[in-house]
Amino acid sequence: MTRTRTTTGEVARSVTWGLVATTLLGALILVGSRNLAHFDAALVAYTFSILFATFGLTYRYAMWLSRPPTALYWRRGWQAFLRRGFRLRNARFWLSRFSLDVLLNRFIVRRGGLRGLTHLLIMWGCTLAVAITFPLVFGWLHFRPVPSDPALYEAVVFGFPAFQFPHDSALGFFLFHGLVWASFLVIAGVMLAMRRRMREEGAGALQRFAEDLMPLLLLFAVSVTGLMLTASYTWMKGYGFTFISILHAVTVIMTFVWLPFGKFFHIFQRPAQLGVGFYKDMGRAEEKAHCRRCGHAFTSRMHVLDLIQVERELGYRYEIPGSEAEHYQWICPPCRRASFALAQGLSWHGRRGGAPLPGEGPLPMPVYANPGLGEGPLDTEDAENFHP
């Protein structure tokens, strides 16, 4: 019997975390905008959509962490990161992995240069847009002319004067057009993503509208309507600005409302993968698990015990009564395949069980007989988990 239902306790805890995160963000908006003194009422719809997204994302993340496999990885990841004697080393590794895997998308770049460029353009375009938009919407950041010198602008952060700059300077041009650059990056990334989905048969066969095309369409709509606003007040003397601003608001709000339910949720899941890396590091340093059929080491003992625990929590039972192996997880992948093939061979002789045929001794661990097939592991981690 497998676990398929969500418990009331899990839902209650997730709702509580969602409410706490949303309330905390609301309080930060009040404090950062000096009790809404610097809050633009015209942006209230954006604010409520972000608050909704905050609740939805926190709720879904908390539910995700409550699942037995994720909960165990989460707990073990922190245990590995905070191990005494390894904290400084882990801090350096965390910085390296975060820079390479999260900021530079190394795991995507390895799949293809163009695919990596696509993700980098979309990621950094969205990051730049969020870094500019959220402080402005929440009232944490605003610009005002300096009374003593009308040629200067002053940036005010959380109600405190931060720095001044000429309005016609390169810095001013970049700050006031930051969302334009972000839109260009996102549109370029979306075009490359659409190109891949239209030209690569593998991607086209697996894609679904809600999961693969909808995110791209929303990003494209937000970016294009934002550029239309810039074009309206820069070159068209405000022609159609009201309609375009409403259209832009609709696309942005739809994106935030849809954010907790769609594919973009993986953006918030991805950093947790860093904990998996520390979990694997701890497994490499600790006792190995030896196959109880051939005797070869194939993973860490901790990993096998954790798998057995998670399977039991999910309702799966793979114990082998009357066998020295005790549990299926104590058998290495090559021996599992060999045992399956051996059982099929024995069935031809009208026998059942894993014993060898008469006159044959115990079978050794199978080896990869034809290394010319395929390209093999991509790197060290793949090699460790490569069980042909």
Residues 250-269: b if buried by 16+ CB within 10 A, e if exposed? ebbbebbebbbeebbbeeee
Give yes or no: residues 41 and 177 share one domain. yes
Distance from C-alpha of 197 to C-alpha of 214, rounded to nearest angstrom:
13
Q: Which of 207, 240, 274 corresponds to the end of one domain?
A: 274
Give yes or no: residues 323 and 265 share one domain. no
Residue-level pLDDT at 387: 54
Q: Which helix (H) or strand (E) holds 204?
A: helix 201-206
Give yes or no: residues 230 and 352 share one domain. no
CA angle 20, 23, 29 (to 5 degrees): 140
What is the Cα Rg of the chain in Å? 28
Q: Is 153 within the bounds of a domain? A: yes
Give yes or no: residues 186 and 69 share one domain. yes
Q: Which residue has the higher pLDDT, 343 or 301?
A: 301
Q: Is 229 within the bounds of a domain? A: yes
Give yes or no: residues 192 and 339 share one domain. no
What angle in degrees, to the nearest 10, is found between the helix axes of 44-66 and 68-81?
90
Give yes or no: residues 247 and 343 share one domain. no
Q: Which of 221, 246, 274 corresponds to the end of one domain?
A: 274
Average pLDDT value for the chain: 85
- Domain of 318? 288-384
Reported confidence tier of residue 122, pLDDT bands at 50, 70, 90: very high
Q: Which amino acid is at 187?
A: I
Residue-level pLDDT at 58: 96
Q: Is 357 within the bounds of a domain? A: yes
C-alpha dihedral (85, 88, 92, 98), degrees to nearest 10 = 80
Give yes or no: residues 319 and 204 share one domain. no
Reported confidence tier of residue 1, pLDDT bands at 50, 70, 90: very low
Q: List, in order, residues 6 or more apart from 223 with CB less than 8 Å away.
A: 125, 182, 183, 184, 186, 187, 190
Q: What is the pLDDT of residues 248-270, one digit of tens each?
A: 999 999 999 998 888 888 888 88
Give yes or no: residues 104 and 239 share one domain. yes
Asked whether residue 321 carries a pLDDT value surpassing 70, the answer given is: yes
Q: Is 46 within the bounds of a domain? A: yes
Mean pLDDT of 135-143: 92
Q: Is 53 within the bounds of a domain? A: yes
Give yes or no: residues 45 and 110 share one domain. yes
Q: Cβ(279)–Cβ(80) under 8 Å?
A: yes
Mean pLDDT of 195-200: 86
Give yes or no: residues 80 and 212 share one domain. yes
Distance from C-alpha of 101 to C-alpha of 29, rounded to nearest angstrom:
31
Give yes or no: residues 215 and 306 share one domain. no
Q: Is 279 within the bounds of a domain? A: no
Reported confidence tier of residue 372, pLDDT bands at 50, 70, 90: very low
Q: Which amino acid is at 205?
A: A
Residue-level pLDDT at 111: 84
Q: Which of 210, 244, 274 corresponds to the end of one domain?
A: 274
Q: What is the pLDDT of residues 67-107, one digit of tens each?
A: 999 999 999 999 989 988 888 989 999 999 889 888 888 88
Give yes or no: residues 141 and 258 share one domain. yes
Q: Is 281 within the bounds of a domain? A: no
Q: Is 312 within the bounds of a domain? A: yes
Q: How many domains does the chain have?
A: 2
